[in-house]
Structure 1
Amino acid sequence: MSGSAIDARCRSGGPWQRLLPGVLMLSSGPPCREQLVRAALLYAGDRAVITGLDALHRQGAWPLEPSGPVHVLIPATRRVTSRGFVLVERTTRLPDPRHHAGLPLPPTARAVLDAARRERDPNQVRTLLVEAIRHGACTLTQLRNELDAGSQRGSAQPRQALQSLTGHVHLITEAWARRIVAHCPIPPPSWLITDGLPNQSSPSRVVHAWWQDVGLLWHIGARAHHRQCVASAGHSAVTADTVLDNTPLELHSSPEDVRRGLAAAYLRAASGRSGGSLSSDHGAVAGVGQLDDG
């Protein structure tokens, strides 16, 4: 079609509208967020990646429908600039996209920090980080690594927020663990929180779940310090017949495997097996006596 024919259809009251240079919407009503996102990709061109809140919302790590600019990453060599509702960021670290419903999205940790670096409210920055971790979309370590590798512009508030979360990671780990237990065919446990080893450079708290009826203790922490952490769980460790050992990373990356391993450990503990090495689908299971003997 000729430019004049397109202009005629995009006039006030016409059937079309021009959203961005070179991008038309073939209806006259207000565009929805999905249409704005797809228009931003068309405007940004080849290899563009949607990031920030729009990426998080589609990955299930942000509960609210995004508002404000659509944040798009493009290669540093491109010369497309921000326009209208599109925030264009040129980067030398363009991520390999994951496609969701046809939209190219970055890894969650990258999307979180792209949003956090441009957020001025410190409470909102902290909420962004907590929501992503709580939903299992990424780990605290992945966020730290991404923050260190990425642009340092606007990184002061995210860095401070990550530091404040360090002492509370056990709350997020417990939330992951509770979600796994809720989908297991076993009764609810008692939850125990103990201090990590005092000689660690960054002591953290450790999550335990205790099933007294079958003598099962589930330890969630660094496997390298398993024996000492189990001992710190107190009386439960003394009376436990079986200990299941998982790391927080396993809860995040392989929840189905952990769930199967937990169910298997409970059934074995209920059947009265103890004192020997037991296998599970995921995680180490052994009698406490064997752990004490090294």
Structure 2
Amino acid sequence: MARGSWTRDAEALFTASRRGVITVAHLESLGVPPATSYRRCLPGGPWQRLLPGVVLLRTGEPTRRQLIEGALLHCDGQAVVTGVEACRRQGLNRAARPDEPVHVLLPLHLKVSSTGYVLVERTKRMPAPVRSDDLLLAPPARAVLDECRRLRERPPIRALLAEVVQQLGVDPAELVAELGAGSKRGTALPRSVLREIADGARSAAEAEAMAVWRRTGLPEPVWNLELRDGRGRYIATPDAWFDEVALAWEIDSYEFHFGQPGYAATLARNNRYSAAGVAVVQTVPSRLRSEPHSVASDLVSAYRAAAARPRPPVVLLGRHDRAPASRAARQIRPSAMS
């Protein structure tokens, strides 16, 4: 483009950009003097500055994709997007926070620093990237753990890891292996949460339910195994199951169970429980956090009621068949709930 002709061909500038995002150096190669680029980014001008040396060729709020393009240009195109952004672009159903940084990985020898909304992490262990929509992304296991290492509280780590296991199909064993291969900094909480997931919890609410169960003094339930009736017909896969008394505990989270069309499926599940004579306790996740003592009391009461009636002929797949427990075997261990 001849010097000065850019003023007559704004479309050519946009074509040379990445969704409207371009470096000042690239603009200079197209005939736009750096002083002109910066002047056009001043208040009232037609462009805006995203990052040092990176310009958006319009005003208004940048899109998330434009912010990512700016971050990649800041890193000279050598970065891989990681963190929750990389997970989201591989199928995680989670909206971006307004203040969420764009987290990128760079080879250790490059001297690019974090700035503005860009979080630059230099690493000697660059992942083999996944390409999606012309972006290079860290694989889900690496991306989610890069995010979790920065978090300082258990609930958001628990929720994020559970979502990645559920929505992206990441094997917990893969997460454990990835955690062991990387930096040990910031891994204590993710390791603890992964142990919960490995024990059978497949949602953040189920992991919290385990903590509530420990308050009750009840026998340990099994988690997420398939239940069938005496004729071999499928009933459900309860979140927690107390086999001796045929009591199911379902953590009916809107986020994990009641999304459309999940509500109708939940009603159908409850009808199957009723037809099979199975007692069921339903708990919403907010009560696990706000009223753990009350939830534990409800669970103990339901267990006692279930133990007082004949056990229905239902079978849990993956467990050896057992003879019906005697009344003595069904007694609740002494606990603070008595």
The answer to whether structure 1 residue 135 and structure 2 residue 167 are counterparts is yes
CA distance in 1, matches of 2:39, 2:57: 13
Return 5+ residue gaps in structure 1 as ranges: 178-187, 196-228, 236-294
- The match for 2:140 is 108
The answer to whether structure 1 residue 70 and structure 2 residue 158 are counterparts is no
CA distance in 2, matches of 1:231, 1:161: 25
CA distance in 1, matches of 2:320, 2:91: 36
- The match for 2:45 is 14
CA positional deviation for 1:94: 0.5
2:82 is matched with which residue: 32, 37, 51?
Answer: 51
CA distance in 1, matches of 2:160, 2:225: 17
CA distance in 1, matches of 2:106, 2:322: 54
Runs in 1 of length 4+ with deviation above 4 angstroms?
169-172, 174-177, 192-195
2:187 is matched with which residue: 155, 168, 172?
Answer: 155
CA distance in 2, matches of 1:231, 1:175: 12
CA distance in 1, matches of 2:88, 2:167: 12
CA distance in 2, matches of 1:175, 1:65: 30
CA positional deviation for 1:167: 1.6
Aligned residues of 1:71 and 1:86 also touching (Cα < 8 A): yes
- The match for 1:232 is 320
CA positional deviation for 1:164: 2.1
1:30 is matched with which residue: 61, 67, 72?
Answer: 61
CA distance in 2, matches of 1:77, 1:160: 32
Give deviations 1:46-98, integer Å, cap 9, x for gaps.
33100111111111124222442110000001000000000000001111111
Task: From the CA coordinates, give the structure whose radius of gyration is larger.
Answer: 2
TM-score normalised per structure 1:
0.59
User: 1:189 is matched by which residue type in structure 2?
Assistant: Y
CA distance in 1, matches of 2:151, 2:96: 16
- The match for 1:201 is none
Is the alpha carbon distance of 1:26 and 1:176 closer, same or farther for their aligned partners in structure 2, counting shifts above 3 Å? farther
Q: Report percent identity of matched pairs.
A: 40
| Equivalenced residues, count | 193
Return 5+ residue gaps in structure 2 as ranges: 1-31, 207-222, 227-232, 242-316, 324-338
Q: Report the aligned-residue RMSD.
A: 2.9
Q: Secondary structure at the match of 1:80?
A: coil
CA positional deviation for 1:4: 1.5
Give deviations 1:113-150, integer Å, cap 9, x for gaps.
00100012210001111000011431100000000001
CA positional deviation for 1:40: 0.6
Q: Secondary structure at the match of 2:115?
A: coil
CA distance in 2, matches of 1:7, 1:42: 17
Aligned residues of 2:165 and 2:202 also touching (Cα < 8 A): no
TM-score normalised per structure 2:
0.52
The answer to whether structure 1 residue 189 and structure 2 residue 221 are counterparts is no
CA positional deviation for 1:108: 0.4
Aligned residues of 1:57 and 1:66 also touching (Cα < 8 A): no
Alignment of 1:197-212 (within 5 A): none
Aligned residues of 1:61 and 1:137 also touching (Cα < 8 A): no
